[in-house]
Amino acid sequence: MNLQATLSMAFGATLATALTLTPNHADACGGFFCDSAQPVNQQAERIIFHQGDDGSVTAVIQIQYQGEAEEFAWMLPVAGTPEVAVSSNAAFTRLQAATNPSYLLNTRVEGNCSDGGGFFRGGATSDSAEGPAASADGGAAAPPVSVADRGSVGPYDYVNITIDPAIEDKYAVAAEWLQSSGYDVPDMGSDVITPYLDSGMNLLAFRLTKGNDAGAIRPVRLSFGPGLPSIPLRPTALATQPDMGIMVWVLGDTRAIPANYRHLELNEALINWLSPGANYDDVVTRAANEAGGQGFVTEHAGAAAPLAENIWFEWEESQWGGIVGTDWTNQEGQLVWQLSNFMQLDGVREALEEHLTVPPGIPEDQFFGCISCYIDSSTADIEGLDPAALVDQIQSGAIDPMTETRELFETATYSTRLYTTMSADEMTVDPMFDFNADLGDHSNQHTADRIIECSPSISQFEAPWRIELEDGGVIRGNGNIWPFDVDDAGMPANERIVRVGTEGTGEVVEDNTGAIAAALSSHNSTIPGPPDGGVCSVGGNTRGAAGFVLALMVGLVAIRRRRS
């Protein structure tokens, strides 16, 4: 099993996230230059946390897995017996697309360049049966393993077990019980899981039900009682890839903070504004490493409600309402045509596979990849199809998970998206998240101005340029090559590292504004201005004391404490 999937929710915690929308900026290119809005698309383990008004928590966890279906096993320690349901990968895909950091580079030209010699523009846009057998305790008074809950949801069987607190090696006992019950248990090691079990947590295990393949794997939704969100990372560390991305949306009354991790404020001069997707993850990785491997970047913080309609679109709501409200008797072909518009949602294809027969000689993937190619919309009757049963199955298996995720954002006041990368040796402290009512909004949209310094004797491609950041920093360069290498830039990846809490303004652990200003000044002095007495250009620009006004505001105040 790919243990990167084993991001466990400790302390029964949950919240949820929401971020502002990434703009679709598409200015026409009227010459050599284009303004370019480039979203960053991180590959990451993704989790949504939501905390309700009563302190109850919901976690939506995306499961990443590659391998044989019969070898799939997913385990996580949990507090008590959370309600278990499935969610949708499509919801995560849409949420991330709507909340990715975006870097908009506005370009203008100073002076006049020659007409020839090539062109200059921003880089390309860069954008995750029955339940198991009963415990074989033989009727003993104190069974080593007790079943707290079990059932089937979506493509999974699951079981939630409690281990006798008197047992020393609880994981060994749990693993033996699960294996005897038909669960393929990964070799996590007793030292990884036992501390969670020793603290009184249960072990929740999933397997694919018979007949499902790995392509049916879906996110899991867990509903807990009151608590704070936490991600036990130690199980993940056993098989994680180096610098694995971890993306968390936290929804609650106010902005979320990494309670026991550092708050990282990136040095935006190190990000490749010509193609930010090319090095953004590298900048975050280096920034996290500078904080001892335990820090999060806040990529967006703001109102939660605007994201809801990006998870489940209004046109989908309208179209689905029409499907549900129609009697499809004698127009079954039209129903199938309508349903094919929802094929991108988890559960739709699986439902159609159950209700439709693939025509002889047509490969299954080809048929379900283009149902309208083989079923005419005017077909009155399709053999074996029960229209009402098909619509009901898609409602519960595909539509409800999307609308339920949307409701998390509709019922929360505020959303925060946090991101980091971690390697196995850094996964020694389980990150927890709390709230701070005084922290300001943080936009995921970043803007800078690029000025091409032209001269009649050179082309625009040959001309030097300068990029003026929102905080006052200036970066000089030539051509379409970013001047800094993340690992050898001569300046840190963090502008500041801050220890944040639930009140106060936070403590700046490391302030690198002076070092960054000095590094930029040194670099900029090496880039000459345009020849032939061209326009006046900036040489060795530095950042003043007020130059690093961060887009990410850090301020902390006391918040209402939730019940433990």
Mean pLDDT of all residues in 187-195: 79
The predicted pLDDT at position 39 comes to 65
Of 311-320, 386-395, 457-466, give the lowest mean pLDDT range.
457-466
Mean pLDDT of all residues in 255-266: 97
Please count the helices (runs of H) and the strands (runs of E) in the chain.
13, 21
* pTM for the model: 0.82
Mean pLDDT of all residues in 218-227: 93
Q: Please determine, for residue 300, whether its predicted confidence score (pLDDT) is greater than 80.
A: yes
Under a CB-based contact definition with an 8 Å cutoff, are residues 204 and 75 in contact? yes
Q: How far apart are CA 338 and CA 351, in angstroms?
A: 14
Partnered with residue 258 across adjacent β-strands are 433
The predicted pLDDT at position 460 comes to 83
SS3 241: coil
The predicted pLDDT at position 123 comes to 35
Query: Which stretches within 133-279 are classed as H helix?
Result: 170-180, 190-198, 234-237
**Each residue of 528-540: pLDDT tens digit?**
988 765 544 333 3
The predicted pLDDT at position 119 comes to 37
The predicted pLDDT at position 239 comes to 63
Please give the share of the chain, as a percent, with pLDDT higher than 70.
Answer: 81
The predicted pLDDT at position 462 comes to 85
Q: How far apart are CA 261 and CA 476, in angstroms?
A: 34
**Each residue of 540-556: pLDDT tens digit?**
333 333 332 222 222 32
The predicted pLDDT at position 93 comes to 93
Confidence tier at 51 by pLDDT (50, 70, 90): very high
- 253 to each of 174, 234, 301, 307, 439, how far by Cα in Å? 38, 29, 12, 15, 12
Order across the sheet with 74-78: list the strands: 74-78, 202-208, 156-163, 145-153
Q: Tell me the pLDDT of the chain averaged across its residues.
A: 82
Confidence tier at 458 by pLDDT (50, 70, 90): confident
Q: Please determine, for residue 133, whether its predicted confidence score (pLDDT) is greater than 50.
A: no
Q: Please determine, for residue 500, whether its predicted confidence score (pLDDT) is greater than 70.
A: yes
Partnered with residue 379 across adjacent β-strands are none
SS3 4: helix
